[in-house]
Structure 1
Amino acid sequence: MPTDKDILVSFRGVKKTYDGENLVVKQLDLDIYRGEFLTLLGPSGSGKTTCLMMLAGFEFPTSGEIRLDGKLLNRVPPHKRNIGMVFQNYALFPHMTVAQNVGYPLQVRGVSGEARQRQVREALAMVRMEAFGERFPAQLSGGQQQRIALARALVFKPQLVLMDEPLGALDKQLREHMQLELKALHRQLGVTFVYVTHDQGEALTMSDRVAVFDQGLIQQLDPVGALYETPGNAFVASFIGDSNRLQGQIGLREGDRCTLNLPGGHVLRGVRVGEATPGQAATASIRPERMRLVDASDAAKAADAGNVLRGHAAGVIYFGDHVRLQCDFTEQPQCFVKVPLDTPALASLAPGQPVALAFEPEHLRIFS
């Protein structure tokens, strides 16, 4: 369990407005731990980038406090914060060589001569770009420019590195490769990384913890496994990964479990999230990989042990290692389930045919 000594950055009661009326960040209380990889994740306009810009010093909070290693940052200019920054467009100086770009933060801090050259060589070696020191940014690929921008952020050995969607300009294959490289570099250096993205896959791949933002508030802050498996509300469930949603009313309550009565007459059992009262409207969420296609003989057995939804096949989409079976249910949004290619029932399945999907109550989360 982290202690106060493990906290590197602290936001307390932070709010931000640009026009004096609408709060972009409504109430931010957040601790960032030394050495962790924390991702701020959310849709456009959710407040995540504003949070990062306040930490970097490019924006100041309207109210509240931001502290770095106990020091109040509210009015400290960016160049005095000992924070490295990597931007989405890399912000490299086109008229400078790679070595000059990487050395620029040292020049600003008054480091010169052999000491600066040595630190530049070390930073380039970290990102495996030591052979590119004399080139100019225009002579580099997107991935190489990203590495140089990272080397520049690390060269002065900051306490904290901030990254604002730094992989957004890369193609899919290179982006996935760089995600793994960034995570490996983080493990190697032990520096605290704070990363902003709207890409949920990116967040789950690299992070130790993820803060999910929406409408200026953190909706949930958790390690990636807990965030995916136990979303705290319907927004997080739908925003993180694929999720099927079911609409109904709360039935019986029993401890942390309850039933959900669906319009078509189905009754499902699941984990209750929030204070639910019988008859109250509710939304349930279930991951597609937690559902399985069962035949008629197995459906009755599955219903005794867990949940079964009966509906009709709407379509089959091939995904290489599995197929995505789309299903229609009475008065519900269309659901889908990931079905292994070797599932016998797939061979004869056609649109309009009856289907039964089984799943365990512990994987159905019911949000009141």
Structure 2
Amino acid sequence: MKTSDVIVSFRGVRKTYDGETQVVKQLDLDIYQGEFLTLLGPSGSGKTTCLMMLAGFEFPTGGEIWLDGTLLNKVPPHKRDIGMVFQNYALFPHLTVEQNIAYPLTVRKLAAKERIERVQHALEMVQMARFGKRYPAQLSGGQQQRIALARALVFEPKLVLMDEPLGALDKQLREHMQYELKSLHEKLGLTFVYVTHDQGEALTMSDRVAVFDNGIVQQLDTVDRLYESPGNAFVANFIGDSNQLRGTIASVDGEFCELQLLDGTRLRGCNIGGAQVGAAAVASIRPERMKLAVNGTRNGGNALTGEARGLIYFGDHVRMRCGLREQNECFVKVPLGTAALDTFAPGAPVALEFAPEHLRVFGLAA
């Protein structure tokens, strides 16, 4: 994307509440016009604080936040032209659905005729046109979520911010709403900035994801690159399922290296970050990238031996739990119908194989 497409820009942004602990540390982040960007991370990582600073409910301790060429640092929330959807929806219980949605338009002093037209359009957009006369207490959680979204969209903001908006919904409805939100985003072409701690939700909906930890963006990337090419051990462990193998860098060969495990096994993998020989390291490999070796044979690449521990059923596949010498258990994705499953027995020896390009090796700080 071109620099001219940048709609939001964080420049050297810092935030502390007590003057000592920095919740956000030196954040530099560009958000592009029309994208769906998710801020993802565990509790306390700084993602929600960034959203609140962009919304105007918090102010940065240092640095600058720009929206479409305007410096926001001292601009109050109601003058930022930003729509906001909260986890608890924040609907007014004494107002009808129509009145809730009309509220931002009333504050902006739009004429009554235009208010009515915009509210009706917003209701149709979220498929809630029949519910305009009801009160929030008469709606389900999913319906309230739609009304909160309509209220955020009704005044045609430059930017829509969402703070864990699906967190209160049950699993099936949450997944349904993920697809609805993504579809609505594509239809409207607005810029969405979304906060969640749910990595599955982030991968489902986003164009790009900023992974936060300890107030720092660990990686900002498209969802496929985050999953396939994590930039450090935290991202590899936080995004999707991942097996971890610990050892020491035994040799380096260009972009690859050899990792010696604690039991002496040597594995070849991508040397992410350029760790040196002798450095302690952790390697990451996805369960679907590991295969059960047929008859214990090895068709090139890496090989590990261990013992079968158990099976976990996932519908279209099973995960086999495998014990490894001096390592944590690992999981291998095994398609249903695989011959080895017919003779599975806990404690039986297993041989695993995987390609070096799928093993990502991260040096650990001394």
TM-score for both structures, normalised by structure 1:
0.98
Matches within 5 A, 1:69-218: 69-218=68-217
Once residues 203 and 83 of structure 1 are traced to their aligned partners in structure 2, the CA distance between those partners, rounded to angstroms, is 21
The SS at the match of 1:94 is coil
Once residues 96 and 282 of structure 1 are traced to their aligned partners in structure 2, the CA distance between those partners, rounded to angstroms, is 58
Once residues 112 and 203 of structure 1 are traced to their aligned partners in structure 2, the CA distance between those partners, rounded to angstroms, is 39
Q: Which amino acid aligns with 2:240?
A: G
Deviations along 1:3-29, one digit per CA (max 9) or x if unpaired, are: 221000000000000001110001100
Partner of 1:227: 226
Cα offset for 1:74? 0.2
2:332 is the alignment partner of 1:333: no
Deviations along 1:220-260, one digit per CA (max 9) or x if unpaired, are: 00000000000000000000000000001111211111111
Matches within 5 A, 1:273-312: 273-297=272-296, 299-300=297-298, 302=299, 305-312=300-307
Cα offset for 1:352? 1.0
Moved over 2 A (4+): none
Cα offset for 1:307? 0.7
The SS at the match of 1:120 is helix
Once residues 144 and 191 of structure 1 are traced to their aligned partners in structure 2, the CA distance between those partners, rounded to angstroms, is 22
Unaligned stretches of 5+ residues in structure 2? none
Cα offset for 1:112? 2.5
Once residues 178 and 318 of structure 1 are traced to their aligned partners in structure 2, the CA distance between those partners, rounded to angstroms, is 26
Partner of 1:248: 247
Give the number of equivalent residue pairs: 363
Q: 1:355 aligns with which of 345, 350, 356?
A: 350
Partner of 1:321: 316
Cα contact 2:255–2:274 (8 A) shared by 1: no
Deviations along 1:338-368, one digit per CA (max 9) or x if unpaired, are: 1111110111121111101111111000001
Cα contact 1:295–1:355 (8 A) shared by 2: no
Once residues 329 and 247 of structure 1 are traced to their aligned partners in structure 2, the CA distance between those partners, rounded to angstroms, is 11
Unaligned stretches of 5+ residues in structure 1? none
Deviations along 1:31-82, one digit per CA (max 9) or x if unpaired, are: 0000000000000000000000000000000000000001100010000000
2:342 is the alignment partner of 1:343: no
TM-score for both structures, normalised by structure 2:
0.98
Partner of 1:268: 267
Once residues 265 and 251 of structure 1 are traced to their aligned partners in structure 2, the CA distance between those partners, rounded to angstroms, is 10
Cα contact 1:90–1:149 (8 A) shared by 2: yes
Cα offset for 1:182? 0.1
Cα contact 1:14–1:65 (8 A) shared by 2: yes
Percent identical pairs in the alignment equals: 71
Partner of 1:64: 63
Once residues 98 and 346 of structure 1 are traced to their aligned partners in structure 2, the CA distance between those partners, rounded to angstroms, is 54
